[in-house]
Structure 1
């Protein structure tokens, strides 16, 4: 069953200069995320993938199209209704440190959204301990500050904060791109474990096909504001149909230098064909 339904989404930003025309970033993108599903949204920098996530979160105003969430249209909600919706739609950003208040303890960071919703201090504290256990952090983390943790641990805190109100959808905006490869894998496995345990859905934004292959059920590929390919993750990330997706796949590094050289040569060949 569909949880998030984006139809013909367009987003335009003001152009530079007094009489400059607006610059359209998204040209009419349509995609769906089912309940308990992870949709990987992949594309290079400037493709518009992050803009889609921000439009779903209400941080960007669409210039056209519709966004439905759980049967309700949400693209033009008033501020109060949007705040109420934040209980069901949460976000994990790319940089875990800048998204956490450095002057607050981890316990206060995680308890804050619960108290705002009306939970007592005691109930919020109990929920925080459950969340810390859920993301694999020790219980004594509750009294520590964000700077006392590694990048991977801080991202676990950010995931716990997103889980605090028990959302139906989490928008994940490049949540592992700032982490080293071994930490990336552990955090991705954590996302998978949490989804299995809670049934939460993910809109997972990334520029890396290998990352979305690891976590996604389906993959949508964005190129210069247009959706060029979508399908099961195994198909799109291993045997894509569109030339741009093939170039993305060939751009992903591999450990074997011979295979890497073959990928580079094939990528150059595709580029020559495209410009011929």
Structure 2
């Protein structure tokens, strides 16, 4: 993976032909939260979002902090209520379903959260952390624990990790554990909510390469949420750009990131970090000129 802006690597990849119906589909999705104060109006965070993810596809959802991108991921996961609109998975509505139905969806939809330092239970051994989702789905304990070694192999961690606690691992290794946990029950979709933003650039590359390798091997689909367009385009087939709760641009990842139509997308592209400080300063000045030109 390359965080400087190159598109994902060449290769046959998953079949993303038009014959596939969407695996995940959100239609006219609205999400709002109570305002501050008893009489304050509700704050609308998502305003009619429509977005789909096909089997084996990675769709990047990118925007600045407060744009609503993480709220969209949480709405898909059932962690926030949907005010209106629908979310369907493999043709079945999943918005605002019962807790029992949501637990059953855990077999098909998993998540990797942003912070590897807080997303793992610090008091659980890694072996127990990885066995837990299997046991929750009814797999016998002994069989679940026997499968943990294979999970560690898939994310290139040593098998003796089962006897260690999360604090004994680096941030990148912890995120590998989180990915292994998400893979434990062979999901069809993984929501990746800023999964590399807490990591240094070198570790980001390692984790992103791992996600690509897993997708090529298993055909899992990703909804990849991030504020960093340069990271999103390195992994995604398609990208949707979210500004203030609305999608302002969507399209093929390479086209959108090389020749964006919307001024907000252009500003996001210019804000992506580069290693050269002189070039970074030039990009900052260009971003400021772009903002001035686009502001009425």
TM-score, reference length from structure 2? 0.91
The reply to whether residue 274 of structure 1 matches residue 294 of structure 2 is yes
In the TM superposition, 1:1-276 aligns within 5 A as 1=20, 2-276=22-296
1:236-276, CA deviations, whole angstroms, 9 ceiling, x for partnerless residues?
12221110000000111222334323322221111111224
Unmatched 5+ stretches in structure 2? 1-19
Counterpart-to-counterpart distance in 2, 1:99 and 1:271? 36
Cα-to-partner distance string for 1:96-120 (whole Å, 9 max, x where unaligned): 1211111111001100111222222
1:2-56 Cα offsets, whole Å, 9 max, x none, are: 1000001000100111111111011101000000100000000000000000000
Between stretches 152-161 and 78-87, larger displacement belongs to 78-87
Gapped regions of structure 1 (runs ≥ 5): none
Comparing 231-240 with 165-174, greater Cα deviation is found at 231-240
Taking structure 1 as the reference length, the TM-score comes to 0.98
Cα distance between partner residues in 1 of 2:156 and 2:45: 38
Aligned residue for 2:147, secondary structure, equals helix
Aligned residues: 276
**SS at 1:52's partner residue?**
helix
Q: Which runs of structure 1 show a deviation greater than 4 angstroms over 4 or more consecutive aligned residues?
A: none
Distance 1:82 1:253 in 2: 38
Deviations 1:114-148 (A, max 9, x none): 12222223321221111100001011111111110
Q: Distance in 2 between matches of 1:113 and 1:253?
A: 37
Q: Distance in 2 between matches of 1:81 and 1:207?
A: 31
Secondary structure, in 3 states, of the residue corresponding to 1:53?
helix
CA RMSD of aligned residues (A): 1.0
Q: Deviations over 1:66-113 (max 9, x none)?
A: 000011000021111111111111000001121111111100110011
